[in-house]
Chains A and B, each alone.
Chain A
Amino acid sequence: SQKIEQNSEALNIQEGKTATLTCNYTNYSPAYLQWYRQDPGRGPVFLLLIRENEKEKRKERLKVTFDTTLKQSLFHITASQPADSATYLCALTGGFKTIFGAGTRLFVKA
């Protein structure tokens, strides 16, 4: 069955460092991969989308890579800030359906 794996343990980093989150998937060939931010008790907020034929996408302090051979996406936040603390969800879209990972909780310490 289709499966998405994200770091189940929380990621703790120091302010100013780069946070790197991982999304691995199996039994799936997504056409698109998205990253969302979700704060406690809130709905997800769209951050970035990357297509299957793209290797890398950037938006301000965010960078996403997509390796369809490894079936992996990496999500980077550079110059991290305490305000970046949240849960980050990876989502894959293919075959007219989108599935979500469970998310990785990021804590950025001042």
Chain B
Amino acid sequence: GAVVSQHPSRVICKSGTSVKIECRSLDFQATTMFWYRQFPKQSLMLMATSNEGSKATYEQGVEKDKFLINHASLTLSTLTVTSAHPEDSSFYICSASETSGGVYNEQFFGPGTRLTVL
């Protein structure tokens, strides 16, 4: 089946630093990648959708300059949390889809990255 990896799985950083999270589709080409954020016992909240080679589309309330997304290839997307603060501490999950457009595109999820900002 389709496999999506994330790296790192856990990261602890100091307030004010930037953190980069990688999302890779290992055995398929991901036309579209999604980045989610999940707080304990809450649902996944979509942050942004990115299509390979184009700018990401951010959800309302998500700061583009704070959460930089790059989808430079069909197998890799990165999320950079810039000038991280303790309130950015969360579980970040990416997913990837082989197709774009259409009503439904099956998403394959990565294992998630736990970010803790001290």
Contact = CB atoms under 8 A, between A and B. Distances in A.
A94 B112 contact: no
Interface in B75-108: 91, 93, 95, 101-104, 106-108
B44 A100 contact: yes
A96 B110 CA distance: 21
A89 B112 contact: no
B64 to A, nearest CB: 19
A97 B4 CA distance: 20
A44 B36 CA distance: 11
Q: How many residues of B sit at the interface, in one of the four size bands?
A: 20 to 34
* Secondary structure dominating the interface of B: loop
Interface in A16-74: 31-32, 36, 41-46, 49
B43 interface: yes
A46 B43 contact: no
A42 B95 CA distance: 12
Interface of A: 4, 31-32, 36, 41-46, 49, 89, 93-103
Interface of B: 4, 6, 41-44, 46, 91, 93, 95, 101-104, 106-112, 114
When A and B form their complex, which 4 residue pairs have the shortest distance between CB atoms, in order from nearest?
A: A43-B109, A100-B43, A102-B43, A100-B44
